[in-house]
Structure 1
């Protein structure tokens, strides 16, 4: 496997900078999730690593080798797309074997059979090898699509929101599978998504993009607990962080314009004695937890409480901040 490095990489489409001066290093063997909303430059970043786009400025390195001018085939990468990209008239076995039959690889038939069998077992689709792709469920088709990348044993795996078209249960199942597979193959893997749950549950490293620029890189827990900006803070966490006027609970630090409160960092007093007055506007019972939607002086706030709480809509309570994050008027962290 190999370290991936982008150094000063910029990619423009007309007047729009999809990626702007990006410096990013993905360590060898890392599971890097590139996280951001639609239009942040996630897919463009992945395509620049793959060689499907050429940077207008900057350099791309894989394993210490400059690959900026190399074709995708020369870079030794494998890419998994959001759509399944399977040959519908071929069986699972034939779909998995297809990349290995490339003239560039010249893989012997016995080796192809061995790799296909091992990959199918890893993906838990060994019993589906003789099924045509059209006779598979959505989750099975995406496993085959991932398998087509795995059989190559490339230097780097690239995945472009491969789970976004699946239903919630399949996404949850395949998140676990992808993390297990990454641990087994010890691969360098770059995965782009807008889904913060995927970043929190799968990544060893997270890079948060904002308008084509890398806002912060670090471990999921590090970014969750110590974001550099309100934008980064809002990318991780479910429910999302509450971003409220800094003076809502009293005076904050100098230059602070916004107070950021994770739902678990809101202290709740059902008796209404300690804290700012609030009113319950909605109660969401989720089994293992209950989310309370509150109105605090005209501002919406979400917090978590006992799953067996008897609080109801319209109830008056009091809330106060606990371990808040502070941001200035531009959204930068105030320490």
Structure 2
């Protein structure tokens, strides 16, 4: 494995800047996830690393070597695409072996067999090696697509939303499998997704990207607990973080310059009225088994919080609200540091 560094990369397509002055390092053995919506520049970033696109400015470094102008074939990169891209007329074995039979590599057949069988065991598809790709389920096809990259043992794996076309149950299973494999192999992976659950559960670090700009990069816990901006705060958390205008919270001490207060659902507690200053009204309750999502009206704003499923609540009921660990943002949406005590 190797580390990969992007240094002040910019890539434009006509008048559109797909990537803007992006600097990022993926450390050796790290699972780094780029998180952002469609059009944020995630796939373009992968294509710049692999050499399918050339940056207008900036450089791409792999293991300390400048590969910015090198052809894709010389970069020792494996790419897992969103679609499976399997050869339907070939067996699982031959699909996995295909990258190793390239004239550029000339791997001996005994070595190919060993690598294919080891990879199939790792992905739990050893019993499917003689099946044609058309006889596989969606989850099995995605395992083969990932396996075709794993047999290569490249410097870095680039993965472009490889689980997005699977159903929720399979996505959950393969998230665990992919993280397990990465840890067992010590693989370096740069993974892009718009799914915050994938980012939170798999990443060593998360880079939040918007309009081609990397806004913040840190561990999942750092991004969640200490977001640099209102936008970053909104990318993580289910239900989504609540935002309230600071003017509605005169009873809450906030640092100067605070325009908006962000409140994570687990940091908004509700209870029976007992003389507290913040009073909201229950709008509706979503019963989700192990917890309830409670939708509240507070001074014309909507809030969502979590509640014990056995807590008696009903629409129209007035409740006291208690805030903990509020996040403060200025008029531009940037984080305002809490005042030192």
- TM-score interval, smaller chain: over 0.9
Q: Which residue of 2 aligns with 1:334?
A: 336
Cα deviation for residue 247 of structure 1 reads 2.1
Deviation at 1:272, TM superposition (A): 5.8
1:249–1:321: 8 Å Cα contact kept in structure 2? no
State the match for 1:255 in structure 2.
257
Aligned positions of 1:107-118 closer than 5 A: 107-118=107-118
1:190 aligned partner: 190
The alignment partner of 1:247 has SS state of: helix
User: Hey, what's the Cα distance between the residues in 2 that align with 1:72 and 1:313?
Assistant: 59
Shift, 1:307, TM fit: 2.2
> 1:286: which partner in 2?
288
Task: Tell me which residue corresponds to 1:13.
Answer: 13
> What corresponds to 1:88 in structure 2?
88
Distance 2:137 2:107 in 1: 29
Alpha-carbon deviation of 1:310? 1.9
d(CA) in 2 for partners of 1:307, 1:42:
39
Q: Is the 8 A contact 1:275 1:320 kept in 2?
A: no
Which residue is 1:178 aligned to?
Answer: 178
Whether the 8 Å contact between 2:273 and 2:279 is mirrored in structure 1 is no
Aligned runs of 1:50-61 on 2, under 5 Å? 50-61=50-61
Question: What TM-score do you get using the length of structure 1 for normalisation?
Answer: 0.98
**3-state SS in 1 of match to 2:141:** helix
The 5 Å alignment of 1:130-279 reads 130-250=130-250, 252-271=254-273, 273-279=275-281
Q: Partners in 1 of 2:146 and 2:329 — Cα distance?
A: 40
Deviation at 1:286, TM superposition (A): 1.6
Counterpart CA distance in 2 for 1:193 and 1:212 is 14
Do the aligned residues in 1 keep the contact of 2:35 with 2:193 (CA within 8 Å)? yes
Aligned CA RMSD, in angstroms, stands at 1.0
Contact preservation (8 Å) 1:277, 1:319: yes
1:45 aligns with 2:45: yes
Hey, what does 2:322 align to over in structure 1? 320
User: How big is each residue's C-alpha offset from its partner over 1:169-191, in whole Å with a ceiling of 9 and x where there is no partner?
Assistant: 00000000000000011011000
Would you say the 8 A contact 1:40–1:212 is kept in 2?
Answer: yes
Which residue of 1 is the match for residue 311 of structure 2? 309
Matched positions, count: 335
Structure 2, gaps ≥5 residues long: none
TM-score, scaled to structure 2: 0.96
On the 8 A contact 1:10/1:20 being kept in 2, the answer is yes
Query: The residue matched to 2:58 in structure 1 has which SS?
Result: strand
